[in-house]
Amino acid sequence: SYNGSGMSVMELSHRSELFQNIMDDAESLIRELMEIPENYKVLFLQGGASLQFNMVPMNLANGKKAVYVNTGSWAKKAISEAKKIQGVEVEVIASSEDRNFSYIPEIPTVSSDAEYLHVTTNNTIEGTAMFDVPEAAVPIVADMSSNILSSVYDVKKFGLIYAGAQKNIGPAGLTLVIVREDLIGQVEGLPSMLDFKVQADNDSMYNTPPTFAIYVAKLVFEWIKEQGGVAGIEALNRKKAALL
């Protein structure tokens, strides 16, 4: 019985004040933990990071060019899906596939005609991670699914960050998207569920959100805050890594 309501979180209407408070608290906490500026929207979506492989090029590079860094299995999938979006020109400007993705490749200068540079910050299968954000004159899009909230990143250096929740945030079924406001609404006529503007205008409630997953995410955010925030978690992670 959540807050004496007689209902569990899974029974609450997502339109109710009780759940709105959960949503507001979750957003407030993640903004605090990652120091997310006011000109970024925080979206609680569905479909996993895999859906973002499509949503990102559809919203940010429809009819234009996007550049990618290929550092492993998930980057390859992101590239493959972007190529399926009609009208999007996809260019891979750096890759470590030549040595079985055993290193992070040097990223060359990105041409100004690209709409964004896509990177994957942690490659769980291959065991590599990108801690230093590359310099680029275009917005950087990052798939942080497997290391979000485990290392400190400066959100201001990114145009968009996305992460499936099931690694570090909460149950499967929730996807966190942090997107700079000027990148929203660039393309008209997208399917509503795949349109960042529709999702942002409806505060992630265009359809019923994954209420229980958002509630658990809020609890995890509270726990991370108690551990000293993301910096505290990173320090613990480096201490564990040093043992190896």
**Catalytic annotation, pick one of 143, 157, 201, 203:** 143
Picking from 161, 172, 163, the residue whose alpha carbon sits closest to that of residue 212 is 172
**Catalytic annotation, pick one of 41, 64, 65, 74:** 74
Phi, psi of 169 (to 5 degrees): -115, -45
**Catalytic annotation, pick one of 167, 195, 203, 218:** 167
CA 166, CA 149: separation in Å to the nearest integer?
Answer: 12
Cα–Cα distances in angstroms (integers) from residue 71 to residues 28, 49, 98, 112, 236, in the given order: 32, 16, 10, 22, 26
**Is residue 223 among the annotated active site residues?**
no
220 sits in which H/E element: helix 211-226
199, two tokens: 């999702």
Residues with a known catalytic role: 74, 143, 167
